[in-house]
Each structure stands twice: as structure tokens, then as C-alpha cells.
Homo-oligomer: A and B are copies of this chain.
Amino acid sequence: MADNPDYLPPVLQVLEAQRAFYDAFESRSMDAMDAAWEHSDDVLCTHPGWPTLVGWPKVRASWAALLANNEHLQFIVTDEHVTVRGDMAYVRVQENILAAGAMSGSLTALNILGRQADGSWRMLAHHGSPVMRG
């Protein structure tokens, strides 16, 4: 594995998979969003201020609605803290959001990713919430 020039350590694989999720959001590509998530009943998504959606069909429907919006959002993701254990990983990230080129908000998010049978990592859970203090 380490001799393979394409080999990335698991922490970097996880960050790359998470980047694909934010890229899908920025580019409003449902195809890319489909590819970024595991399609299973284990999937969870909590948009800021929303109740948690459970299972891929509900999570997918929420993304389809959000991506249909024409507003261009850009995510500057900082303060990543990654933990990988076996075939699961979680990442704490700060999401600094630009809308129309201006700072429009700051969210703290917890993302969980799972390694798939083909070795790729996909999103299992996303929980974003606004930072109101500190």
C-alpha cells in the first residue's frame, strides 16, 4: 500500500471524501452529492436549526431541495480535527460560509464517514449548527 504512489493515509482519504461533500454543495451538483454519501438507513443529516433527518431517502430529498436554490455558497472549511478508527471516522470542522462573496455565517459541524467495501469513504452523518456564543 505505502509503495503505491496513489496511496493516501486514512486521515487524508477522509478529508478528501469530506471535501467532495462540500464541493458538491458549492457546485450544487446532485450527482456529486449522491456520490459523496452512503445510500443506507444509517445516514443522518441535521441542517442548522432543523430536526435530524434519518435514512438516505429523506436526507437526499433535503439536499435536492437545498441544491435547487440558486444562491451560490462557498465553504471555507477550517479547524479540521479528524479521528479514524477502523472503518469509521469523524471530523469536526468550522464552516465559514461566503454568500455573494461576503461572509454570511459561521457553523460548527460534526461529520461521520464510513469506509465502503471498495475502500472509498462516504458521508454517514452531517450535523451542522450555528455558533451563537464564544
Contacts and interface: CB of A to CB of B under 8 A. Distances in A.
Counted per complex, copies of this chain come to 2
A54 B78 CA distance: 14
Given A85-B87, A110-B110, A114-B85, A129 B49 contact: yes
A92 B114 CA distance: 16
Nearest to A130: B49
Interface stretch (A19-27, A40-48, A68-76): A40-48
Main secondary structure of the interface of A (DSSP, over half): strand
Contact of A49 (B112, B124, B125, B133): B133
A98 interface: no
21 contacts: A42-B83, A44-B81, A46-B108, A49-B131, A49-B132, A50-B134, A51-B134, A52-B92, A52-B94, A52-B108, A54-B81, A85-B88, A86-B87, A86-B88, A90-B90, A90-B125, A92-B125, A110-B125, A112-B112, A127-B127, A127-B129
Interface of A: 42, 44, 46, 48-52, 54, 81, 83, 85-88, 90, 92, 94, 108, 110, 112, 114, 124-125, 127, 129-134
